[in-house]
């Protein structure tokens, strides 16, 4: 009885934090811009989308940008624009967001899952070679820059035996990432970005494809709106013609002017928000440096991290324990203390739908299984205060000593 009485106040004191995993940052200008468009009389794809595309292309350093309804749609369109035969095989990491693999399937291709390096949590030259050595020709690859860390696209393309124009980059985490000195999205491959509510440039929903290839840009532009030769804005413009034709299959995957106006306003803050993310990462690095039992995210050897996520690895007490029990316990204890965390991502080869729809059959992905048991994404967003970072670090440090 006394034990219970002594414990209750401690428990009550524990849940004093309110540090959710993410708090979306919407600039005041975004609210004004959205209202302006809502009052303008034009709600779907129009002049705001064109301006957002131009401003986004300039920010990233790409020749062309095409706005879409989501990054998932952007990936599907980027893959369709390769115009490969049905059933062509596309390499993709087993540790990525499920939407990326759905996009490969909806584009008409066959996803081939690739294991990851347990430290970078991304496919390496070795795991890509292992995938290519299995029976069956590989036709394309989707490369993810996980957490915002730069993947070495050239090395991976070489390992897969693919030309750069057969690579589509999943840059949902990588707005602001640099490979060497070049921003992700300014290179040779079709690159797909996300404006989902939790991403580095939040709109709520939305996506963008960047490319330096005029033909690819034009194909994606048509396919995003039913394959129609002209969009509604151009048809209804004064003096515009109602005529259009359809020469290719397409999706309904256009962005609205309301979304674009929010995106344009948000883009003006992106450099500041990215600076804040780098400060937060540096503060976590410093305050967690001496803590035993975790591994901190690696700094890129060559390039710049966009810090979409700050993912630590909670090391098991016994090296071959891949149960994830210790990580789960720490995540639960943090949640009880009002600190939100997440895991990016659950390996896709463990999920029923992807077991049926992807290759190889019965994969043995030791890197992914080791990494998955350890991954823990800490709160990381530009609204996070220094004090909150310190509370997360101190609480995590104390839990690691006790668990």
Ligand X SMILES: *Cc1c(COP(=O)(O)O)cnc(C)c1O
Q: Which residues of the chain form contacts with ligand X (CB under 6 A)?
A: 70-72, 96-97, 99-100, 144, 170, 172-173, 194, 196, 207
Residue closer to ligand X, measured from CB, 66 or 144: 144
Element (H, E) at 111: strand 110-114
Instruction: Closer to ligand X by CB, 157 or 253: give it.
Output: 253
Q: Which CB atom, from 198 or from 230, has the smaller least distance to ligand X?
A: 198
Q: How many CB atoms lie within 10 A of CB 39?
A: 7
The answer to whether 53 and 65 have CB atoms below 8 angstroms apart is yes
Question: Is residue 37 within 8 Å of 250, Cβ to Cβ?
Answer: no
Quick one: 34 or 75, whose CB is closer to ligand X? 75
Nearer of residues 308 and 327 to ligand X, judged by Cβ:
308
Picking from 145, 143, 144, 164, the residue whose alpha carbon sits closest to that of residue 154 is: 164
> Measured from the CB of residue 201, what is the shortest distance to ligand X in angstroms?
11
Closer Cβ to ligand X, 197 or 398, answer by number: 197
Burial (CB count <10 Å: 0-12, 13-18, 19+), residue 12: exposed
Minimum CB separation of residue 375 from ligand X in Å reads 14
Cα–Cα nearest to 265, from 52, 68, 47, 23: 52
Output the smallest distance, CB 222 to ligand X, in A: 20
Q: How far is the CB of 145 from ligand X (least distance, A)?
A: 8
Q: How far is the CB of 251 from ligand X (least distance, A)?
A: 13
Contact by Cβ (8 Å): 340, 395: no
Angstrom distance (rounded) from CA 51 to CA 258: 12
How far apart (Å, rounded) are the C-alpha atoms in residues 117 and 62?
A: 30
Q: How far is CA 276 from CA 74, 200, 281, in A?
A: 28, 11, 9
Residue with smaller CB distance to ligand X, 99 or 293: 99
Q: How far is the CB of 346 from ligand X (least distance, A)?
A: 13
Residue 116 CB, nearest approach to ligand X (Å): 13
């Amino acid at each position: 009885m006394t034990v219970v009485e002594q414990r209750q106040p401690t428990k009550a004191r524990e849940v004093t934090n309110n540090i959710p995993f993410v708090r979306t940052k919407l600039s005041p200008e975004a609210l004004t811009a959205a209202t302006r468009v809502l009052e303008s009389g034009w709600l779907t794809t129009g002049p705001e989308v064109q301006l957002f595309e131009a401003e986004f292309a300039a920010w990233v350093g790409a020749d062309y940008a095409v706005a879409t309804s989501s990054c998932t749609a952007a990936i599907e369109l980027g893959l369709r624009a390769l115009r490969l035969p049905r059933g062509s095989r596309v390499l993709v990491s087993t540790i990525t967001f499920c939407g990326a693999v759905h996009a490969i399937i909806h584009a008409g291709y066959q996803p081939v899952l690739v294991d990851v390096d347990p430290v970078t949590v991304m496919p390496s030259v070795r795991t890509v070679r292992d995938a290519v050595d299995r029976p069956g020709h590989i036709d394309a690859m989707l490369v993810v820059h996980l957490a915002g860390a730069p993947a070495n696209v050239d090395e991976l393309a070489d390992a897969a035996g693919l030309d750069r124009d057969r690579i589509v980059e999943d840059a949902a985490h990588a707005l602001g990432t640099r490979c060497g000195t070049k921003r992700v999205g300014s290179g040779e491959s079709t690159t797909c970005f996300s404006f989902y509510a939790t991403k580095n440039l939040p709109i709520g929903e939305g996506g963008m494809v960047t490319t330096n290839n005029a033909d690819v840009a034009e194909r994606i532009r048509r396919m995003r709106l039913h394959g129609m030769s002209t969009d509604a804005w151009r048809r209804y413009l004064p003096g515009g013609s109602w005529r259009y034709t359809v020469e290719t299959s397409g999706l309904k995957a256009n962005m609205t002017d309301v979304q674009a106006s929010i995106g344009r306003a948000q883009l003006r803050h992106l450099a500041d928000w990215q600076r804040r993310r780098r400060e937060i990462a540096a503060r976590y690095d410093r305050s967690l440096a001496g803590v035993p039992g975790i591994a901190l995210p690696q700094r890129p050897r060559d390039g710049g991290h966009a810090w979409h996520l700050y993912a630590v690895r909670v090391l098991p007490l016994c090296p071959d324990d891949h149960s994830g029990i210790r990580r789960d316990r720490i995540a639960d204890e943090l949640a009880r203390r009002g600190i939100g965390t997440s895991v990016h991502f659950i390996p896709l080869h463990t999920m029923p739908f992807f077991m049926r729809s992807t290759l190889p059959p019965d994969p043995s992905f030791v890197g992914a299984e080791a990494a998955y048991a350890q991954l823990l994404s800490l709160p990381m967003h530009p609204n996070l205060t220094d004090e909150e970072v310190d509370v997360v670090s101190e609480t995590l440090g104390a839990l690691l000593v006790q668990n």
